[in-house]
Amino acid sequence: MRCPPCHKEDTAVDTALLFCNNIISTCGVPKIIISDRDPKFTSEFCTNLYDIIGTKIAFSTAYHPQTDGLA
């Protein structure tokens, strides 16, 4: 499953709405998220949220675009 792309100008609220409207509402809470280390997904708020909902976060290797296709 893939999340619709985030945009540089997206705020944390935009990203949270995208996550809730496109992931949680259609498929439920994910067990794992693979991220390219974007600050939108690594903030203290997000890491606490992941702990609360039971989602693990995995980070792709920097400058390794092959992994980004999996994210």
What does the pLDDT look like over 2-49, one tens digit per residue?
667 878 888 878 888 888 888 888 889 989 988 888 887 888 888 888
Domain boundaries, the chain: 31-71
On whether the CB atoms of residues 15 and 43 are closer than 8 A, the answer is no
Helical spans, DSSP H, in 1-71: 12-19, 25-27, 39-42, 44-53, 65-68
- The pLDDT, as a whole number, for residue 22 is 85
pTM as predicted: 0.62
- The pLDDT, as a whole number, for residue 69 is 58
